[in-house]
Structure 1
Amino acid sequence: MKQQIVQNVGELPTYGFGPRSGPWWGAMSFMALEGMGFAIAVGAYLYLYAVNPTWPIGASPPDLWPGSVETTLYLLSIIPNQYTNRVARRHNLRKVRVCLIIMSLIGIVLLVLRGFEFAHLNTRWDNSAYGSVVWLILSLHTTHLATDLGDTIVLTVLMFTSHAKPRRFSDVTDNVFYWNFVVLAWLPLYILLDWVPRL
């Protein structure tokens, strides 16, 4: 006689945080792919830097102030971002709403600053190989910044509607995780784009 083991899984949670969440693994895969894209672009930049006797080619280094202000704001954004993670894990809807609004505003300010940064690169994308690779790297990171901002705004709107279910708090923590990637990816790029041309 065959014995059949049956277990009622109806009481198991329908969502989780971190590695217990499917979207978290999707974000990890997405970040791995994006990290490779950054690695290829940085490799191209360093190759061009190594084979050219003068760097930057036909341009002066980017103005420091836009990238430096951005970097400061990125580093400061870690504080409300980590607080967002904490209150989301506690399912504190009121505080999550406030934190998501703050993170959305930070993202908007950073996008505006990014516009100034493009304007102060002191080279056009079609000016030289230097101009092309700098614009490529900055455009790649801008895409990630805009993607995360869009995700944050969507989550903010959802948390003010009937869609603010417990599962959404897990989505908020995944968004926090991705923002950390955006910040960490920017730090070496800031040194590469703003300081390497001054060496």
Structure 2
Amino acid sequence: MKARIVADLSELPISGPRGSSPTWWGNLAFMLIEGTGFALAVAVYLYLATVVATWPPAPPPELAAGSGVALVLLLSLIPNFLLSRWAKAQDLRRVRLGLLVMIGVNVLPLALRVLEFGAFHVRWDESAYGSIVWVLLGLHTTHLLADLVETMVLAVLMFTRHADNPRRYGDVEDEVAYWYFIVATWMPVYACLYWVPRL
């Protein structure tokens, strides 16, 4: 039997906004999976806090570094929002600038995170408390590092001749959504690590 062409789809665009892009769905699925990982780690932390006589067994963590990370992440929502608008408008010059700013913004919480590990006065192998604290900080640090690499790669791509096309702008919008996820996951972890021990 001879194949019959029903429709010519060759003129369809190779990318589209949000839900019409497979990359958008992949990004969403990744955030759901990773969000579940954070929720499980927080549940472990809260469970341990209920079964241990003294929580935390070490002095409560110093607030400066963790609060600094929270503040930087909240302030980063401003350039991230602007980057989203510029990507939707397909403004290449501003998207390039926004990506460079977001690289800088991503480095700041990583620098503070180095100080933050010492603010807990506990090593990862000292106790269950030390282990879960380091797991939570490590999970979030991994996401910050992954996003830094992704933003750098995307910034390099946006400075090539392949930059000014709808697919690349869609990639930038996916990156913006992932940064919102990173900020959103830190807030409950921050509350859990720094304020639950003070209740």
TM-score by length of 2: 0.95
Deviation string 1:13-50 (CA, Å, 9 cap, x unpaired) is 21012111111111111111111111111111011000
- Paired amino acid for 1:183: V
Runs of 4+ in 1 over 6 A off after TM superposition: none
Q: Secondary structure at the match of 2:50?
A: helix
Aligned to 2:77: 78
Q: CA deviation at 1:161?
A: 1.2
Aligned to 2:45: 45
Indicate whether 1:184 and 2:184 are aligned: yes
Q: CA deviation at 1:5?
A: 6.4
Aligned to 2:123: 124
Aligned to 1:161: 160
Q: Secondary structure at the match of 1:54?
A: coil
RMSD between superposed Cα atoms in Å: 1.5
Contact 2:157 2:163 in 1 (8 A): yes
Q: CA deviation at 1:7?
A: 2.5
Q: CA deviation at 1:10?
A: 2.8
Aligned to 2:106: 107
Contact 2:143 2:182 in 1 (8 A): yes
Aligned to 2:151: 152
- Paired amino acid for 1:34: E
Q: Which runs of 5+ in 2 are unaligned?
A: none
Query: How many equivalent pairs are there?
Result: 197
Aligned to 2:90: 91
Deviation string 1:113-167 (CA, Å, 9 cap, x unpaired) is 1111112121111111101100001100111111111100110111111231411
Q: CA deviation at 1:8?
A: 2.6
Aligned mates of 2:173, 2:17 — CA distance in 1:
7
Q: Secondary structure at the match of 2:66?
A: helix
- Paired amino acid for 1:129: A
Aligned to 2:197: 197
Contact 2:92 2:164 in 1 (8 A): no
Q: Which runs of 5+ in 1 are unaligned?
A: none
Q: Secondary structure at the match of 1:148?
A: helix
Aligned mates of 2:38, 2:170 — CA distance in 1:
27
Aligned mates of 1:5, 1:16 — CA distance in 2:
25
Aligned to 2:9: 9
Q: CA deviation at 1:6?
A: 2.8
The share of aligned pairs that are identical, in percent, is 51
